[in-house]
């Protein structure tokens, strides 16, 4: 039944004015003919990874690059598992790995399968990567079981596609400058002053901005992360280097989102050689680093400037003071002592504080989901500012 729903979804998307191209798994062809989708969409259906409808073009790369959005509907437990672990063993999974377009998944399966811990773990893995799910509904299944597992209704899926595509364009033409990761302030050629930031939050923000159509410049301190495809990356080590890089990029940007955990202090003097261990104590004198976001916000003009506050006590009070003192439009604060909300983890719990006094607490979620909420807030601020102008 869910396979036939896919034909209905394709038809309604065509009626909404979209070009629809269909990729099927071999298992799907046992339930519904590729000819059905070819007739509905007017485009050839690709099933095998070696299918090449257009001579001289690699089908999975061409489709991946041309797509504005990839909708997988219905998605079985097997397909979700293969996507989660990154397999590329058929045309669908190969396309999913090759595309940079947003991916929407509409699962359909037996209720016991949908609620199975393995399936839910794969779902959470994909959510953390920015894949969005159109959750199944409750009802009577073809097998006679009743529960959560029926594919969502066609209007719900079509609306989700429309909304996601709209988000993909709301930052088109906007240049977003993102800072991410820690800074390392050298003591000598071996030692440094740093912090525990992994850069995951900043990289997630860059990915979310790209998904909304923005041009992204990512200035990053030392991390082990792969930069998001499509972003222009500037790598730095120290706070001073990050400050100079931000200054160089700031005039051309529309939005600055400063997620980097910049070291507030650096050693007054960097030793040219490694200091050897002795029995004597050693006093290390530290001096302040530049206040990057504060300096930029004082000359922001029509730009949106967003800061982050990683706090250990009185989080809201400290963040509100920082918001006012630094002339920010928005600040995202988290308590790094809260489990699952600090450095070196994949989740976060942010509270968004706006310059107009609004406070928006978010539940704990993946950093990619936090980034999506933040970017939506930035898009709304930009829209409001342009309306006033």
Burial (CB < 10 A; 0-12, 13-18, 19+), residue 219, is buried
CA dist., res. 242 & res. 200, Å (int): 17
Across the range 337-364, mean pLDDT stands at 93
For residues 14 and 161, the answer to whether their CB atoms sit within 8 Å is no
DSSP of 161-192? HHHHHHHTTTTTT-EEEEEESB--EESSSS-E
pLDDT at 230: 86
pLDDT at 162 over 90: yes
pLDDT at 56 over 70: no
- For 233-246, how does the pLDDT look when each residue is reduced to its tens digit (9 = 90+)? 999 999 999 999 99
pLDDT at 177 over 90: yes
In the chain, beta strands by DSSP E: 70-75, 103-107, 132-133, 137-140, 146-150, 175-180, 185-186, 192-193, 215-220, 232-235, 255-258, 265-267, 286-288, 304-311, 330-335, 347-348, 351-354, 359-361, 365-366
> Hey, which of 238-242, 309-313, 383-387 has the most confident mean pLDDT?
238-242
pLDDT at 77: 97
DSSP designation for 300: -
> Hey, which of 1-10, 123-132, 257-266 has the most confident mean pLDDT?
257-266
pLDDT at 55 over 70: no
Among residues 54, 142, 143, 273, the one annotated as catalytic is 143
Active-site residue, 143 included: yes
Element (H, E) at 372: helix 367-388
The band of 229, judged by pLDDT with boundaries at 50, 70 and 90, is confident
Across the range 244-250, mean pLDDT stands at 98
CA dist., res. 202 & res. 176, Å (int): 12
Domains of the chain: 2-167 (3.40.50.1950), 175-272+280-388 (3.40.50.10300)
Token pair listed for 315? 């989080």
Among 361, 356, 359, residue whose Cα is nearest residue 381: 356
CA dist., res. 39 & res. 26, Å (int): 19
For residues 377 and 355, the answer to whether their CB atoms sit within 8 Å is no
The band of 54, judged by pLDDT with boundaries at 50, 70 and 90, is low
For residues 353 and 319, the answer to whether their CB atoms sit within 8 Å is yes
For residues 80 and 105, the answer to whether their CB atoms sit within 8 Å is yes
pLDDT at 274: 96
- Tell me if the pTM is above 0.75: yes
């Amino acid at each position: 039944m869910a396979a036939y729903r896919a034909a209905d979804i394709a038809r309604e998307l065509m009626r909404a004015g979209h070009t629809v191209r269909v990729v099927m798994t071999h298992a799907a062809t046992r339930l519904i003919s590729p000819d059905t989708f070819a007739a509905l969409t007017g485009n050839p259906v690709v099933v095998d990874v070696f299918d090449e409808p257009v001579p001289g073009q690699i089908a999975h790369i061409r489709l991946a690059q041309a797509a504005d959005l990839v909708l997988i509907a219905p998605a079985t437990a097997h397909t979700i598992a293969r996507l989660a672990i990154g397999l590329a063993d058929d045309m669908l999974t190969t396309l999913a790995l090759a595309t940079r377009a947003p991916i929407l998944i509409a699962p359909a399966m037996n209720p016991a399968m949908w609620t199975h811990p393995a399936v839910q773990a794969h779902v959470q893995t994909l959510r953390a990567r920015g894949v969005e799910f159109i959750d199944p509904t409750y009802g009577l299944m073809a097998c006679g079981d009743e529960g959560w597992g029926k594919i969502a209704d066609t209007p719900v899926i079509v609306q989700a596609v429309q909304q996601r595509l709209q988000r993909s364009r709301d930052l088109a033409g906007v240049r977003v400058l993102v800072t991410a990761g820690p800074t390392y302030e050298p003591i000598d050629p071996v030692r440094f002053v740093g912090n525990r930031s992994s850069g995951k939050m900043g990289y997630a923000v860059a990915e979310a901005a790209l998904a909304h159509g923005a041009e992204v410049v990512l200035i990053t301190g030392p991390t082990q992360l792969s930069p998001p495809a499509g972003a222009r990356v500037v790598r730095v080590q120290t706070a001073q280097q990050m400050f100079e890089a931000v200054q160089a990029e700031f005039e051309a940007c529309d939005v600055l989102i400063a997620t980097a955990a910049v070291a507030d202090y650096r050693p007054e003097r960097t030793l040219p050689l490694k200091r050897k261990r002795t029995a004597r104590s050693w006093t290390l004198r530290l001096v302040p680093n530049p206040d990057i976001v504060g300096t930029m916000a004082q000359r922001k003009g029509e730009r949106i400037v967003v800061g982050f506050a990683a706090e250990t006590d009185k989080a809201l009070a400290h963040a509100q003071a920082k918001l006012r003192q630094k002339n920010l439009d928005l600040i995202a604060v988290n308590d790094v002592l809260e489990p699952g909300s600090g450095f070196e983890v994949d989740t976060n719990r942010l509270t968004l504080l706006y310059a107009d006094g609004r406070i928006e607490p978010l539940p704990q979620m993946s950093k990619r989901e936090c980034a999506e909420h933040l970017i939506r807030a930035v898009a709304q601020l930009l829209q409001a500012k342009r309306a006033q102008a």
